[in-house]
Structure 1
Amino acid sequence: MERRTFLRGAVIGTSAAAFGGTLMHGAAYAAPAQNGPGPYGALGSADANGLQLPSGFTSRVVARSGQAVTGTSYTWHNAPDGGACFADGTGWIYVSNSETTPGGAGSVSFNSAGAITGARRILSDTRNNCAGGATPWNTWLSCEEVSLGFVYETDPKGVNAAVQRPAMGKFKHEAAAADPVRKVVYLTEDESNGCFYRFIPTTWGNLSSGTLQVLTAGAGTSGSFGWANVPDPDGAPTVTRDQVSGAKRFNGGEGCHYAGDTVWFTTKGDNRLWQLNLLTGTYELAYDDSLVTNGAAPLTGVDNVTGSSSGDLFIAEDGGNMEICVITPDDVVAPFVRINGQSSSEITGPAFSPDGSRLYFSSQRGTTGSSSGGITYEVSGPFRA
C-alpha cells in the first residue's frame, strides 16, 4: 500500500474500527524502513560545491553566512537552520531560521526561472531559532529552541511585523507542522524527555489564542494515542512536559511534517522517525537506525524532515555522513545527497520549491565548523512527481 494513498498507516482489518482516538484489535503495523536502492540511483562524485548527487541533479550555492546574498544587500545570517518555501506570484520565497542568540530568520526571493530577486530579515532579537513550520495562510512559524522558548509568526516577505504566539506554549520548541484537516498545529520539543504537542487555535488562521494539548500514550513504540490539555502553557512553575500524567516521552524531538492524514516527527536521541496515523489514532516507528537489518543504517543523526508530492520523505542528518536520505512510500531508505568536507556541521532546513523541482537546505556550519560558516544550497533535477 503506497503512502500517497494511505501513507504507510496502520491498516484496519475488515472487522476492526477506530473510535475516539483508539484502535480496536486487528491493526497491522508496517515495518520500519529498511536499507535499499533509492529511486534516484547511486550518488556520483562530488561536484564543484562538494555535493554528491544522483545522476541528473545539479547544485548551486544560494547564500553564505556573513556575505551578501547575490544581487542583494542582505547579509545572510549565521547558523541557518529550519526552512520552508512559499509561493510568491510566479516565483517563490525560501525562509531560513538562524540558530544563534540573537537569532531570528531571513528569506530569499526567486523568480519563475529561479533567479534571486531579493532577500531580507523577517525576524530579529530572538533566541536560537532552530526549526519551525509553514502555515496554510502563508506565514512562517519560527521556534525558539531554549527553555521557555516562544513560537513567532512571521511574514516571509518581511512586510508585516513578526508576532509572538505565547498561547502555543513556552518550552524548548523545535518544529511545527500545520494540519488543515483537523485545524491544529503539531509541535515537537527538543528535550531528552520531551513531549509531542498540538495547538488548537480558537479560530483557524489566528494563532493568538487556543488550547495546547500533549500526546498521551503507553511506553511502547506502537499503539493507540490520545490528547490531553496542558493546564498551564506558559510552563511556570511546572514545565509543560511535566503537567499531564500519561504524557508520552520522546528523546529529543526534532523535525515534523504533515501530509495526507499522517504526521511524522523525528527524535535525534534515538535516531527514530515516528508516525502518527491520524485516521486510526495509532502511532508507530517509520524508521529506527537500530532496526535496520540488511547492512549498515544509511540514516543516522536523524533531524529535519520534509516531504515531496510523490510521498517520499527527505530527512536531513545532524552529523552522520552529512546526508539527506530519502524514505520511499514502500519503506526503502537510501542517501539522496552527501556533503563532503563538512563533518563538523549538520544539514538543516530541507524544503521543496512549490513546483517540486528544487530542494533547498543548509549546512549550518559549513567547512569551518563555526556558525559564521553556514552555506545554503539549492539542488535541481528530476524529482519524482
Structure 2
Amino acid sequence: MERRNFLRAAVVGGTAVTLGFSVTRESIAYPAQTGTSPYGALQAADANGIQLPAGFTSRVIARSTKTVGNTGYTWHSAPDGGACFADGAGWIYVSNSEMSSGGGGVSAVKFDADGNVTGAYRILAGTTRNCAGGPTPWNTWLSCEETDFGYTWETDPRGINPAVRRDAMGQFKHEAAACDPDRKVIYQTEDQPDGCFYRFIPTTWGDLSAGGTLQVLVENGSALSWVNVPDPDGNPTATRKQVSGAKLFNGGEGAFYRSGTCYFTTKGDNRVWAYDAVNNQLHIAYDDNLTSNPPLTGVDNITGAAVGDLYVAEDGGNMEVCIITPDDVVAPFLRINGQSGSEIAGVAFNPAGNRLYFSSQRGTTGTSSGGITYEVTGPFRTTL
C-alpha cells in the first residue's frame, strides 16, 4: 500500500499517526486531525454572507474599484496577501494586488485606535502579480511577484519611503516570505509544482540593501541541509534547478514563522509543513489525506495568533478560513457563502490580536474587480 494511503487508512481507523515527529506541544500529534473548533460551530451567515462562530461579527473594509470609506482612495483589484503593522495607537493593514502586466502592487488602509478607517493609499505600483509576502521585524512589508522571474519588493506600510526591489533575494515565482529573527534569515516559498523552499541570509540583519546569500533546502536521505544558489537571478537556469538534491514542494503558498518553526503551505498536495529550524527537521503539520472528513482544502495564505493557533485560508474549497490549534485539531473558523469563484487571501491579525483581516480576491462576481476585504472582530482567545 502506498504510504499516504496507508497513513490515511490508519487515521480513519482511529489510530493517531505521529510519523516519529519530535515531541513538543506543537508537534506531538502531527499531523492535525479533524475536530471541534475551540470557538464552536459556525452560525448562520450574516449580512455579508459570512458564517462565524457565536460572538463574532464581520464588516467590509474595502471593495475593489471602489473608494475606501471617506479616504478618496480607490481600492485595488485582486487583493491577495497582507499583514498588519502598529502605527501609534492604531495600525495599518497592507494588501497585495495580484494583477498581471504591471498592474499589481500594494495598497494600505490606516486605522485609529478604535478601528475606524482614517486613510488609504498606494505603497507599490507597476509590478506584476503581487501574490503573498511577509512582514519584517523592522516594520516593512516584503511583497512578492508570482512570475517566473519575479522579484521581492521591500515596501513601507506608512507610504513614506519608496519601495525598493531586493534583487539578492532571487528571481523566481515568489509566493510568501517569513522572517526568522532568531537565525536572522528569511524563508521563501515558490509557487511551482516542483518548487523549492529557500532562505535568504541578509548580509546585515535589518538592512536588506546590503544584499545577502540565497540558499535552497536540500534533502539527502533523511538529512536536510542548506546550499547556496549559484545564480539567484535564475537566468538561464531556474533557481530551483541549480542545486542537485533540492527538496521539491508541490506549489508553495503561504508562510508564517513562530518560536523556532516556519509553517508553510503547498497547494498541490494540500499540506501544511512545519520546518523546525532549531533541529533542522521537516514535519507535516496537516495533510488532507491524513485525516477523516478533512475540512481544509486548497491551502493558501497562513497566519498565527499569539495564543498559538494557526489560521489557514482556502483557495477554493468551501471558501473557509480554518484553524489549527496547538493541540493539532483542525476545524473551520469562518466560511464565505456565495463566492465559489473566488479565493481567500491576506489573513492577518491587528497588533492587539482582536481583529482578523482577509480578502475574497474575486468576491461575488468571480472577477478581479470584484474583490472584497473584510474584518472580523470577536472574542479571540488569549489563553489555551
Residues 127-206 of structure 1 mapped to structure 2, 5 A cutoff: 127-206=128-207
Deviation track 1:14-59 (CA, whole Å, cap 9, x = no partner) reads xxxxxxxxxxxxxx97430000001100000000000000000000
CA distance in 2, matches of 1:33, 1:124: 39
Are positions 1:248 and 2:260 aligned together?
no
- Report the count of equivalent residues: 358
Which residue in 1 is equivalent to 2:123?
122
Deviation track 1:84-107 (CA, whole Å, cap 9, x = no partner) reads 000000000000000002100000
Cα shift at 1:217: 1.5
Q: Structure 1 residues 321 and 236, CA, compared in 2 at 3 Å: closer, same or farther?
A: same
CA distance in 2, matches of 1:309, 1:9: 23
Are positions 1:80 and 2:92 aligned together?
no
2:214 to 201, 212, 215: 212
Cα shift at 1:280: 1.2
1:373 to 355, 363, 370: 370
CA distance in 2, matches of 1:187, 1:363: 23
CA distance in 2, matches of 1:244, 1:236: 14
Are positions 1:108 and 2:109 aligned together?
yes
Are positions 1:11 and 2:23 aligned together?
yes
Are positions 1:283 and 2:282 aligned together?
yes
Which residue in 2 is equivalent to 1:307?
304
CA distance in 2, matches of 1:187, 1:368: 32
TM-score (norm 2): 0.92
Which residue in 1 is equivalent to 2:256?
257
Equivalent residue letter for 1:366 = G
Cα shift at 1:9: 6.7
Are positions 1:338 and 2:330 aligned together?
no
CA distance in 2, matches of 1:336, 1:224: 36
Equivalent residue letter for 1:89 = G
Cα shift at 1:382: 0.6
Whether contact under 8 Å (2:29, 2:327) holds in the other structure is no
Which residue in 2 is equivalent to 1:25?
none
Equivalent residue letter for 2:105 = G
Cα shift at 1:11: 3.1
Name the stretch that deviates more: 314-323 or 224-233. 224-233
Name the stretch that deviates more: 46-55 or 271-280. 271-280
Deviating 4+ runs (over 6 angstroms): none
CA distance in 2, matches of 1:29, 1:244: 33
Which residue in 2 is equivalent to 1:231?
230
CA distance in 2, matches of 1:266, 1:225: 19
CA distance in 1, matches of 2:324, 2:122: 33
Residues 54-73 of structure 1 mapped to structure 2, 5 A cutoff: 54-73=53-72
Whether contact under 8 Å (1:224, 1:283) holds in the other structure is no
Whether contact under 8 Å (1:9, 1:277) holds in the other structure is no
TM-score (norm 1): 0.91
Whether contact under 8 Å (1:323, 1:335) holds in the other structure is yes
Whether contact under 8 Å (1:184, 1:201) holds in the other structure is yes
Whether contact under 8 Å (2:21, 2:30) holds in the other structure is no
CA distance in 2, matches of 1:225, 1:266: 19
CA distance in 2, matches of 1:141, 1:69: 23
CA distance in 1, matches of 2:207, 2:63: 34
SS in 2 for 1:130: strand
Whether contact under 8 Å (2:347, 2:357) holds in the other structure is yes
Equivalent residue letter for 1:68 = T
CA distance in 1, matches of 2:218, 2:207: 26
Q: Structure 1 residues 379 and 224, CA, compared in 2 at 3 Å: closer, same or farther?
A: farther
Equivalent residue letter for 1:211 = T
- Give identity over the alignment, percent: 67
Cα shift at 1:65: 0.1
Whether contact under 8 Å (1:10, 1:30) holds in the other structure is no
1:353 to 328, 350, 355: 350
SS in 1 for 2:308: coil
Structure 2: tracts of 5 or more residues without a match: 1-19
Which residue in 2 is equivalent to 1:325?
322
Equivalent residue letter for 1:204 = W
Equivalent residue letter for 2:298 = G
Equivalent residue letter for 1:364 = Q
Residues 91-106 of structure 1 mapped to structure 2, 5 A cutoff: 91-101=90-100, 102-106=103-107
Equivalent residue letter for 2:380 = F
CA distance in 2, matches of 1:134, 1:375: 22
SS in 2 for 1:290: helix
CA distance in 2, matches of 1:328, 1:216: 29
Cα shift at 1:235: 0.3
CA distance in 1, matches of 2:35, 2:307: 18
Cα shift at 1:225: 1.8
Q: Structure 1 residues 328 and 224, CA, compared in 2 at 3 Å: closer, same or farther?
A: farther
Equivalent residue letter for 2:290 = L
Which residue in 2 is equivalent to 1:21?
none
Cα shift at 1:139: 0.3
CA distance in 1, matches of 2:223, 2:177: 22
